[in-house]
Amino acid sequence: MSDSRPYRGRLAPSPTGYLHLGHARTFWTAQERANEQGGVLVLRNEDLDRQRCKPEFVTAMLEDLRWFGLRWQEGPDVGGPSAPYAQSERMAHYRTAFQRLRSAGLIYPCCCSRQDVLRALQAPHQGEDEPVYPGTCRPQPGQCAPEVSAERAVSWRFRVPDGGQVDFVDGHFGLQSFKAGADFGDFVVWRHDDLPAYHLAVVVDDAAMGITEVVRGADLLRSTARQLLLFAALGHPVPNYYHCPLMTDERGVRLAKRNDALSLRTLRQQGVTPDALRKGWSVSVGRLFGQSV
């Protein structure tokens, strides 16, 4: 893949907790890549999950990222031509995309388990990817999606082309191949509680904001395959992708927002400097700080 548009990258944190060193490392890579290209970096507040996102985490995330040395040219706090930069304020964009997918017959209503729908709330993490959908509510080929009454809470799934291969060349990991229907199945694009699911929101925003390269964690490699199908379905230009290896603790466990010891906030309160953190992240973070994480 190549993209001849002027470089636009993005930082897309979710304010569901304090950001940790793993986020900082990925975002730092995003910033370095944008700077190398003389490009623009956009900060997007991914706050769709009303239950888990909190205003205090939005404030904290902006503060902590700035403290760490990250700078963005567009974002919720600085504005810019693609405003608004908080997903909760972009519902009209998501609804338009949803209607396009629906009119094109590419999605169908689904009344399967709430658990599946809950998984669609958030970006999946390694080992927590949504299971391949067994196709319970999938219409037969050639059959129209059933009519749904306005009162009925259903989710909507994107019908993936069974057996179709989705290939892309990742800037870090090289050629990636995933098979639709095997590596991932029909995925939720609209949730039963009338909110867009992660994949749809991210694709709509990356397209609307003219993002040319997506830099994010390796836990989203498989999600990229799904999102490429949505880019194609919506007829949007596809960005390049660069997935960063995930930071792990001494036991090899991926850092999560619950790893308070390595939240940027805690490290900062302990007097650790961003410079020391950047020098240290090639070694095990637990060893670096002499703590068990």
- 179 among known catalytic residues: no
14 touches ligand GLU by CB under 6 A: yes
Nearest to 75 by CA among 84, 65, 64: 84
Could you say whether residue 13 binds ligand GLU (CB under 6 A)? yes
| 45 near ligand GLU, judged by CB under 6 A | no
Q: Is 12 in the site for ligand GLU (CB under 6 A)?
A: yes
Show the site string, 64-103: x = touches ligand GLU by CB under 6 A, - = not.
----------------------------------------
Min dist. Cβ of residue 168 to ligand GLU (A): 14
Q: Positive or negative, the Cα torsion across 23, 25, 29, 34?
A: positive
Among 18, 21, 46, 200, binds ligand GLU (CB under 6 A): 46
Distance CA 272, CA 144 (A): 59
Contacts of 231 (CB under 8 A, 6+ apart): 203, 207, 237, 238
Stretch that binds ligand GLU, among 12-20, 66-74, 171-179, 240-248 (CB under 6 A): 12-20
Binding footprint of ligand GLU, residue count (CB under 6 A): 8
| Per-residue binder mask for ligand GLU (CB under 6 A), 122-151, x = binder | -x----------------------------
Rounded CA-CA distance 203/158 in Å is 13
Q: Is 154 in the site for ligand GLU (CB under 6 A)?
A: no
Q: Smallest gap, in angstroms, from Cβ of residue 175 to ligand GLU?
A: 20
Residue 33 interacts with ligand GLU (CB under 6 A): yes or no: no
Q: Choose which of 202, 228, 230, 247 interacts with ligand GLU (CB under 6 A).
A: 202
Closest distance of CB 145 from ligand GLU, Å: 27
What is the contact surface with ligand GLU in residues (CB under 6 A)?
12-14, 46, 123, 202, 216, 220
Supply the residues annotated as catalytic.
257
